[in-house]
Amino acid sequence: RIGSATSLSSAVVNSRLQELVKLFKERTEKVKEKLTDLDITSDDESPTASPAKPAPATAPVPPPGGEPEGDKPVGDEHYCEMLCCTFKYQPWLDHLKNYQFPSSIDPLTNLMYVLWLFFVVMAWNWNCWLIPVRWAFPYQTPSNIHCWLLVDYLCDLIYLLDILVFQTRLQFVQGGDIITDKKAMKVNYLQSQRFKMDIVCLLPLDFFYFKVGVNPLLRFPRCLKYMAFFEFNNRLESILSKAYIYRVIRTTAYLLYSLHVNSCLYYWASAYEGLGSTTWVYDGEGNSYIRCYYWAVKTLITIGGLPDPKTLFEIVFQLVNYFTGVFAFSIMIGQMRDVVGAATAGQTYYRSCMDNTIKYMNFYKIPKTVQNRVKMWYEYTWHSQGMLDELELLVQLPDKMRLDIAINVNYNIVSKVALFQGCDRQMIFDMLKRLKSVVYLPNDYVCKKGEIGREMYIIQAGQVQVLGGPDGKTVLVTLKAGSVFGEISLLAAGGGNRRTANVIAHGFANLFILDKKDLNEILVHYPESQKLLRKKAKKMLKNNKLKDEKRAPRDLLIIPPKADTPKLFRAALAAMGRRGGKGPLAQLQRRLKELKEMQA
């Protein structure tokens, strides 16, 4: 009993000492790892200082009968009392006084310039739509002539400001450089075709009003500012998320304008022949514009049912109208078809791919369960991404732009992966371009236990579950968006380590995949990062093995295996044996021999 109690106490002390030694070793390795990582990552950029916090919007109310604490701000202060608080503000007149017009304008990205083009286009539309109406219909009268002239000269002012203020400040590209010099921008505009058209637009033909009267046709040159209209279309389509809607509206406006001009010509022809003089001309009853517009619609769309022309002028006018109507209407229909076709090109491609896949599965008699899952994948991928393969879209972009998009989409997730912390930043950028997006359906296996791991997974959207246990169906952990798994297999030796658990998609899951082959091609150019990654991978594999050993079930032994005898204790036993083999140490030595024989 004394021997067994002594051996038990020595075994407890021995095991405790071994645990302490193990903890000290792990702590030493962690310190060494931190020092090593600090040396490797010394080339990284230093963290930037956080921006200064803006001043609070509310100013403290000065205490009654005293001055406010702190330094007094320079300049006048304006306060606006609202409820219980006093807000500091600057009058809007000061904002206007302090505003400085930009010396140069980027026509591609400046939203203020797009807004200005909108006003220019509105002035251009006023001239294009109202000049024919005022010329043909009797809507311009001496009683309202001042209103027409007021809006006309307001539009002329917009044209003039566009020439003097905006067009002379537009940046341009010369020899690959963006020119922002004031003199160079002005010379570039004065030498352009647009300047010549702008000068023609503002020809002062209004002086002929004193001789022939206020004739709207003298303002026809104002309609030649069409370049601003097409530029506005390009700029607006570049900032709209659904530009095809605007294209449909613009094409419809083309058709309506054609009918508008035709109705004006028809009223002019009726007035030339005499209102109500024949059955073909306008009879002068009802709203003149609505009646003439109705006639123009029936003519251009070639509906028919119109009265036959009587005179030679009416016959020629109707022939030209029919020919123009067929030609213009066919152009409008073709353009509308192109606009709608471009808007639904992706949907058409998706339907075509899905139909071809279904035809293929029906030909080879694929089970219905598999066909339903394939259809579900097509539908979810299209509705979640708007496309079937993101690489088809990005392959047309330059390498730098693909990198910019990949950084904004994936960098925040990849930079948090422990395996890649401390690596070269450019290596991570190259790795981002190799990520592939894959959609998994509910209960799809992402990876199975025992298979060779050759890729790493990053969860972009959805959840995955790690299964384990005796039956392989117990949910060990649920990984959500932003989580990473399978990263150790990228650098494992011997063709990749085997998966230790099943991973299935819990619902629809969108994952980014990085292949081991792609990573190896990248690491060839970054040897320092390759060394660091391999070192971290070995450490993570070692930790996983230790965890597996702890989780592994132990054999039920009558007498568990004994820990190694300490060297000092063995030396004491040896010395006691040389003295004659008496005493408690000799009894412990004999007891240890008996235990060894029993274990054998």
Q: How far, rounded to the nearest angstrom, does the alpha carbon of residue 549 sit from its chain's CA centroid?
A: 46
Q: Rounded to whole angstroms, how far apart are CA atoms 510 and 461?
A: 5
Structural tokens at position 253: 């406006």
Question: Quick check: helix, strand or coil at residue 265?
Answer: helix
Q: Rounded to whole angstroms, how far apart are CA atoms 60 and 58?
A: 7
Structural tokens at position 430: 């190259």
Task: Identify the H or E element spanning 174.
Answer: strand 172-174
531 CB neighbour count, 10 Å cutoff: 13
pLDDT along the chain (600 residues), means of 10: 56 78 80 59 41 43 44 48 51 68 88 94 96 93 93 95 93 87 93 94 92 92 94 91 88 92 93 89 90 89 79 90 84 85 82 90 90 88 75 72 80 76 85 85 87 84 86 86 78 64 88 86 88 80 66 50 66 66 68 74
Residue 59 confidence (pLDDT): 42
What predicted TM-score, i.e. pTM, was given to this entire model?
A: 0.62
Contact 399, 434 (CB under 8 A): no
* Residue 437 identity: S
- Residue of 165, 198, 195 whose CA lies nearest to 182: 165
Residue 348 confidence (pLDDT): 84
Residue 155 confidence (pLDDT): 95
Residue 546 confidence (pLDDT): 67
Residue 184 confidence (pLDDT): 93
Q: Residue 583: exposed, middle, or buried by beta-carbon count in 10 A (0-12, 13-18, 19+)?
A: exposed
Q: Residue 221: exposed, middle, or buried by beta-carbon count in 10 A (0-12, 13-18, 19+)?
A: middle
Q: Rounded to whole angstroms, how far apart are CA atoms 249 and 235?
A: 16
Tell me how long the chain is. 600
Q: Rounded to whole angstroms, how far apart are CA atoms 580 and 575?
A: 9
490: Cβ–Cβ under 8 A, 6 or more apart, which residues? 419, 455, 456, 514, 516, 519, 533, 537
What residue has token string 């390795």?
29
Residue 102 confidence (pLDDT): 86
Task: Identify the H or E element spanning 323.
Answer: helix 312-343
Q: Rounded to whole angstroms, how far apart are CA atoms 539 and 336?
A: 63
Q: Rounded to whole angstroms, how far apart are CA atoms 562 and 567?
A: 15
CA angle 262, 219, 229 (to 5 degrees): 70
Backbone angles phi, psi at 509, to 5 degrees: -135, 130
Q: Rounded to whole angstroms, how far apart are CA atoms 58 and 292?
A: 63
Distances (CA, A) of 227 to 31, 36, 195, 408: 69, 63, 10, 36
Backbone angles phi, psi at 56, to 5 degrees: -65, 150
